[in-house]
Structure 1
Amino acid sequence: MKNSITITSILQSMLTPEEVQRVVKLIGYEDKARKFTVYHLLQYWCMAALEQWGSYRSSVDYAALCGLPVVHYSRFSTKAAEVPFSVFKELFHLLVCKCNREARRKLTFPKELLLIDSTTMTVGKTRLPWAPYHGERAGIKLHVALRAENGQPLQVVETLGSKHDGPMSEALAQPDYILVMDRAYGKLERLDHFKTHGQSFVIRLRDNVHLEKPHALRRLTKPDSSVIRDITCQLGTPQCRSTQRHRVVMFRDFEGREIRVVTDLMQVTAEQIAQIYKARWQIEVFFRWIKQHLNIPTLFGTTENAVYGQLFCALIVYVLLNWLFVAAQTSWPQHAVLSFARFSRLFLLQNLPVEWLIQIQRVLLQCTSCFMN
């Protein structure tokens, strides 16, 4: 058994150089380099995210300690600006498909929750002149559809920071899931569209949306329920009103604030709908975690390829760590039980308990055999 398991060794188990080369050809990029290929760039980006390297220059100083090929920092910078970021985006989604394979077999409900939201990274406008945002700031966004069941991203779309969140929900919609979203996505025409096309959703309503012709639904009152009201109604004013009647559930959050959510779900209780919306907090935790632990706020480059390439490789690291944490779960003795945050920290320090190392080796071995077959 190996004494340590690194992100590059896991990456090699999940994405072979041949697979990366196929994606490179599919995108149409010609990789002529021998000493510093796209696969090496992928490894550099992943290590930079996990170990939170500070720049191109400092990265090459750490590379030798990680067993990566040593190149001048200008070569790293040039390659990052040269390789289309769509290569890393395609590799990310390929990896997501692989890591979700086992999870699909474990589904026990006809539909699971898909949490949709976005996060913005901003810098001074002179750093990214192609991405104007607000005033003296430039910014880019990642729009994410996150599976609530296993905490894995299902799909990610990159845009400029000025892009509105609402329309992106239509690009991220998945009829096999229940979409859970915040107020920015609650446009009335979109709600009608989702309901007409069979897309299940639970979306928070803006406070100023008018409820027209409300009709209370019969429900059993539960003790200690946070639900205030459960109705069906049309939404909006005569100037802008939904064509469909929608179910609206009102409840109080843990701070006592009134929350109104709209949904097409009719066969579940109001308390369950409140719990579904509360699950949306998981995507906020996801955004906070990747920003704190994967070096995302520190953008190395200034071109689209360098910026988005770095971000998609950081997401690849998250997918690998999360998949490994979930796949290695078993009946641990008390001293070996870990949270995801502690698992990630010990993984980085190469100080995981021996029980975890043994189980991870088994998972990687099974994974390699499965993908080869």
Structure 2
Amino acid sequence: MGTIPNQSVICKCLDLLPLSDEAFPLFNHRRRLTLVKAVKLLVEAQLNQRADLDEISQALRANRELQQAVGLKSISPSQVVRTLDNLPLEVLQRVWLLLTQQVAQMYPEQGVTGLGKLHLIDSTSLSLPELAGKWAYCSKHSNGVKVHLKLVIADSDTVYPTQVICSTLGVADSEVALDLVVDKDAIHVLDRGYRVYRLYETWLEQGLRFVARIQQNSRTLVLHEREVAPHPPVLRDADVLVSYKNAEKQLVEVQLRLVEYTDEKGRQYRVITNVWDKTAEQISEIYHHRWLIEIFFKWMKQHVSLIHLYSSREKAVWNQIFLALIGYALVLLLRNETDAAQSPWSFLKLLRCYMCQAWNRFLQELQRKPEKFSKGRQKKGKTGRPQTKPKKYKTVKKYANQ
């Protein structure tokens, strides 16, 4: 990562990108905004939540450190959007994959204590405008794309995606499930969007473990009830049969395990699984971790501006999704390099504040300890008898100064 003490934080961050312009002579022919410069500029825009193309262009002209990191002094918004639309998607996918592999090496012992390796499967949607987004038409009032991904839980504070499939809204979650549920050494956690019994049978035959939520009215034939504690959260633990009709209209039955439980708010859940070596409480805890993927999607939309698309053109949309994922991977790599104790969001906020300052100063701020330890104002007990009736207030009449 380099040892230049006066190197700016933004230079340090963008230098992590495994890219070289010498590898793309055809793309760079007669271009001011070469492939590497474009990727660096657009990744910086994701990390700093640049609102639009004009802000990207203005930030480059105003920021000398960014100019040094990108290798460009100025560029017009129109050139940025044209380049975004022309970037080769396979290159961005390869860059993201290489960075993800580096992140995975930082966490050789993945998983949750007592539960093992958990892979969370889900998708999120991004809306597109009515006219410019017709290429992603779904219904009369809905155009958009989906990001299907597999999220790995590295530790209690860190998650990262290892597989991503982008599609239009018309693609159901279950249609890509076979491409995401592939790891035999992990338990895959899925929501109700993947409730397809044919998939369950396939995973059972392939030795792939899963915990999937089913609807309250989903039919199951109970074969054997296990004893559960008389008090929640676990309400039922049973071996059941689920059935479906195959392509030849023949009835196929699959034997699985059903666990019903309630959460801390009293909401009831029904999950189906082929994991037999965990207790019912552990199964409920495994599914509870599924909410980490919802938090990850929220993190990407709010903190890396994935929800603000710079262009509605098809290729530009796919490219920006992977640029945002690249930005997230860079945050994890820098956080690990600095041994920061902050959460990814707290680390990113500090990174933004020191983006144009020297790397050493950023490290000093990361390691800075609180100067004062205040216990706050100490409350003193009131003397006299305690007040039993609510205090009465009178109407207040005040006028602003003329």
TM norm structure 1: 0.84
Pair 1:254 & 2:264 matched: yes
| Alignment match, 2:397 | none
Q: Any residues of structure 2 matched to 1:60-75 within 5 Å, and which?
A: 60-64=57-61, 65=63, 66-67=66-67, 68=70, 69=72, 70-75=74-79
- Determine if contact 1:85/1:306 at 8 Å carries over to the other structure: no
Residues 258-267 or 75-84, more deviating: 75-84
- Could you tell me how far apart the structure 2 residues matched to 1:216 and 1:110 are? 23
| 1:269 shift after superposition | 0.5
User: Which of 176, 196, 214 in structure 2 is aligned with 1:187?
Assistant: 196
Distance 1:355 1:43, change over 3 A: closer
| Alignment match, 2:281 | 271
Tell me the matched-pair count: 347
Pair 1:227 & 2:234 matched: yes
Pair 1:91 & 2:95 matched: yes
Deviation by residue 1:223-246 (Cα, 9 ceiling, x = unmatched): 865100000111147888652210
Amino acid at match of 1:56: L
Structure 2, unpaired ranges of 5+: 368-402
Residues 150-159 or 76-85, more deviating: 76-85
| Alignment match, 2:363 | 357
Deviation by residue 1:264-294 (Cα, 9 ceiling, x = unmatched): 1111111001000000000000001111111
Amino acid at match of 1:357: L
Pair 1:173 & 2:181 matched: yes
Pair 1:58 & 2:71 matched: no
Larger radius of gyration: 2
- Determine if contact 1:116/1:179 at 8 Å carries over to the other structure: yes
| Alignment match, 1:113 | 118
Q: Any residues of structure 2 matched to 1:134-173 within 5 Å, and which?
A: 134-149=139-154, 150-173=158-181
Give the % identical residues: 26
Distance 1:151 1:359, change over 3 A: farther
- Determine if contact 1:146/1:153 at 8 Å carries over to the other structure: yes
- Could you tell me how far apart the structure 2 residues matched to 1:82 and 1:237 are? 45
- Determine if contact 1:225/1:271 at 8 Å carries over to the other structure: no
Pair 1:101 & 2:105 matched: yes
- Determine if contact 1:324/1:360 at 8 Å carries over to the other structure: no
Residues 257-266 or 293-302, more deviating: 293-302
| Alignment match, 1:15 | 18
User: Which of 194, 200, 204 in structure 1 is aligned with 2:209?
Assistant: 200
Structure 1, unpaired ranges of 5+: 331-336, 362-373
- Which of the two has greater helix per residue? 1
- Could you tell me how far apart the structure 1 residues matched to 2:11 and 2:42 are? 11
Distance 1:201 1:258, change over 3 A: same
| Alignment match, 1:128 | 133
| 1:258 shift after superposition | 1.2
SS of the equivalent of 1:284 reads helix
- Could you tell me how far apart the structure 2 residues matched to 1:192 and 1:52 are? 44
| 1:137 shift after superposition | 3.0
TM norm structure 2: 0.78
